[in-house]
Amino acid sequence: MRKYVPKDNVQKKAYYTDRFHVVPSVPRSKVEEGSHFADVMKTMGANVKESYIEIGQLVIHIAPEDNFKVMKMLKETCGYTQCSEQSAVDYLAKDNEFELFWQLLNITVAKRIRVVCRLANGAAIESIEPLYKSANFAEREMFDMFGIKVNNHPFLKRILMPDDWEGHPLLKTYPLHGDEFASWYEVDKIFGKEYRDIIGPENRDPGKIDIKDTKRFSRIGYEVPFAAEYNENEEVPVEYSETALVNYNKKTSIQLDERR
């Protein structure tokens, strides 16, 4: 029987985990009174569901429908004038949700905030493009990679993948080597589907060696014409140490003596 592989997360897993292994967590601390972050928290008020400081940065969890309101407050009241990064994390397998984050920067006090929200699968998020223009590309990338729809975005379209691509690559259900569509994409596009047989499937195994294949790099040591017929009786002109058992130590010592 074939081994069962879960379909909802096809990324690589650890092949062995100790039964008694306890995963530690990065320490999280409370916001201190009187600090800059405390002022931010006061301004935010009830919009924040959860907040803590993780590795020097304030993390605030908000509801997905509040994102524009919160960003506007952060930008206009608290001076977070740059949105340096925005993307999503796929938690579909566990919670059927995406985790979205925005990384904001205040350059006057040199502080960073991460705004985090959980968005249900299939729901759309409001665009923050009117506030931060950098969201223009970042939201398009998020749409391309995860398929998260963004409301009121000026031009929501695939950015990194081609327009006619199928699937969203950074989802956990999408395999690293691509699906059927991805593996034939360039052949279908350039030559057409009927040429799949001539060109053949992709070689995804980096260690594969096929002595009969003269189109790849299989015949090491001597040159044959591209796509030449394989001949059983042909001689391999170069011999390697594994076959001829050359005593390299002896040879090199002789060479060294000569050089001296």
Partner 1 sequence: MQVSNKLTPFFENLNFERDDNRMVINFGPQHPSAHGQLRLVLELDGEQVMKAYPDIGYLHRGIEKMAENMTYNEFLPTTDRLDYIASTSNNYAYALAVEKLLDIEAPRRAQAIRTMLLELNRIISHLFFVATHALDVGAMSVFLYAFREREFAMDLMEDYCGARLTHSAVRIGGVPLDLPAGWLENAAIFCDKIDHEVEHTYGALLNENRIWKMRLEDVGVISAEDALSWGCSGVMLRGSNVKWDIRKEEPYELYGELDFDIPTSDRCDSYGRFRMYMEEMKQSTRMIRQLIPLYKETKPQLMAHSPQYISAPKEEIMTQNYALMQHFVLVTQGMRPPKGEVYVATESPKGELGFYIKSEGEPYAYRLKCRAPSFFHTGLLQKLLVGVYLADVVTIIGTTNIVFGEVDR
Partner 2 sequence: MMASGASRYDFDRMGTIFRASPRQADVMILAGTLSKKHAEFARRLYDQMTEPKWVISMGSCANTGGMFNTYATVQGVDRIIPVDIYLPGCAPRPETLQYAMMMLQKKIRRESADMKNNTKQDLTTQTGRKARLI
DSSP strand pairing (111-120 vs 57-62): parallel
The minimum distance between CB 189 and partner 1, in angstroms, equals 10
CA distance 58 to 103: 10
The minimum distance between CB 252 and partner 1, in angstroms, equals 22
Residue 38 corresponds to which tokens in the numbers above? 């405390």
The gap from C-alpha 162 to its chain's centroid, in whole angstroms, comes to 17
The minimum distance between CB 158 and partner 1, in angstroms, equals 8
* Nearest residue (CB) to partner 2, 28 versus 189: 189
Residue 102 has φ and ψ, to the nearest 5°, of -125, 135
From residue 117, how far is each of 138, 220, 235 by CA, in Å?
16, 54, 66
Residue 140 corresponds to which tokens in the numbers above? 């398009």
Task: Tell me the residue length of the chain.
Answer: 260
Tell me: does residue 5 bind partner 1 (CB under 8 A): no
CA distance 5 to 251: 52
Tell me: does residue 238 bind partner 2 (CB under 8 A): no
Identify the H or E element spanning 61: strand 57-62
The minimum distance between CB 187 and partner 2, in angstroms, equals 7
List binders of partner 1 among 156-175 (CB under 8 A).
157-164, 169-170, 172, 174
Using CB under 8 A, list all residues that contact partner 2.
160-162, 169, 174-179, 182, 185-187, 189-192, 195, 198-199, 202-204, 206, 215-217, 225-228
Using CB under 8 A, list all residues that contact partner 1.
11-16, 21, 23-26, 28, 54-55, 57, 59, 81-85, 87, 89-90, 101, 103, 107, 110, 112, 114, 131-134, 136-138, 141, 145, 157-164, 169-170, 172, 174, 176
